[in-house]
Amino acid sequence: MLDKIAQKLASSTAELIGIDIIITDEKGMIIGASDPSRRGTLHEPSLEVIRTGQNSIQQEQDVQHLQGVKSGVTLPIEFTGKRIGTIALAGVPSKVTPFGMLVKKHTELILSEKMFSEVFFLRSRAIQSLLEQIAAFDPEKDDETSLLATARGLGFELQIPRIAVTIELLDARAVTSQGLEIETVPYTQMDIMMAIRTIFNRPQDISTMMDSGRYEILRAAKALLNEKEVVQRTWKECEKLKKLMEGKGLHVVIGIGSLAQDISCLPASHRDGWKAVTIGKNIHYGPSIYSISDLMLEDLLTTASRDIAKRYRESILAPLKATSDSVELINTFRVWCEHRFSPSGAAKALSIHKNTLNYRINKIESMCNIDSQNFRELLSLYIAILINELSDRNTDQLSSR
């Protein structure tokens, strides 16, 4: 691991402090140097430092007989309890030794962070693979033994109640291991995962990045809780996560799937979580939290035959779609329905006067030939609007989650 960062570390540190630096491996061979021509040569003082683990000072008279060795100080690099190399700084020993101690600690810290990052990445890839296997698992055809064993190898038990929580970053450019930049603030995959695991931190919570800008948690639930109680508790945690992400300048859509009592129901919870994200994002817009249990009607509509849904939508919405203010009228009717047909509630949500709302509703009644006292007619128009919004906003995503 040291050889991967030695040259860059030696060059950048030497430039910063203005002192010649070399870094060797455990055999005393120079693998990084502020003077790159020294790479690949032996630094003899490092051999004793590696053997003893003690700092070594090289005075001018000590190095006259040594080829390519300058006066200065050589310090051991220690990592995971082993001496894996050295750092040597050239100059008057009394002056460069304090810098040497700082560079040593800095190098060891970088190595620790790099190892943590690599272990984090490898485990994340393994968990991602596990969730992909869960998503593709068919309880009627597939043997669950291998999947259960894979999960247990990672420390997870799948035969306990869980509920899927799905997260999609909005306005996210490519999220890579090098980072994501939103509002000029860089965040890496690790930053986002650490935020997620700050909230969903039970030992049995399974969380990972699924792909660019999309994350998922299989949240462990208590066996004695019913689905409504689990959703309520999960919702509160999602609110905390949303607030935490917004504090980092990140805006998210969060979906809550159905409760899975065991492994056979996990694929459905996974799909429901992503359906909640897609439906919520497409119909309600903007960053928020959506539970599939609140979107069952919309979910049902997405399963209808496309041809039938298209005919239904066009036959009912044709009069409204022919007007120049169709978008405004359609949105007004939907908001009015979703506010229990309350003129004051709908007008407030739309930021319009109640008289304006009444004018629009009357216009819709006249154009569509419906009676606002006839629930069946109102429901038919409302469903047509939902189908229109779902079909206009790429509902192919629903079948791909």
What's the confidence (pLDDT) of residue 398? 45
Other CB atoms within 10 A of residue 80 CB: 9
Q: Residues 87, 100: contact at Cβ < 8 Å?
A: yes
AA identity, residue 52? T
The string of DSSP letters for 258-279 reads EEESSGGGHHHHHHHHHHHHHH
Burial call 278-294: b when 16+ CB within 10 Å, e when fewer: bbbbbbeeebebbbbbe
pLDDT in tens, the chain (401 residues): 788 889 989 998 898 889 999 999 999 999 999 999 999 999 988 999 999 999 998 887 777 777 778 888 999 999 888 999 999 999 998 899 999 999 999 988 888 888 877 887 888 899 999 999 999 999 889 989 999 999 999 999 999 999 999 999 986 443 333 344 434 345 677 788 889 999 999 999 999 999 888 999 999 999 888 999 999 999 999 999 999 999 888 899 999 999 999 999 999 999 999 999 999 888 766 689 999 999 988 888 888 888 888 888 888 999 998 899 999 999 999 999 989 999 999 999 999 999 999 999 999 999 999 998 899 999 999 999 988 888 755 444 444 44
What's the confidence (pLDDT) of residue 395? 47
As a whole number of Å, the end-to-end CA separation of the chain is: 38
Q: Is 342 helix (H, G, I), strand (E, B) or coil?
A: coil
Cβ partners under 8 Å of residue 239, min gap 6:
289
H or E element at residue 319: helix 306-321
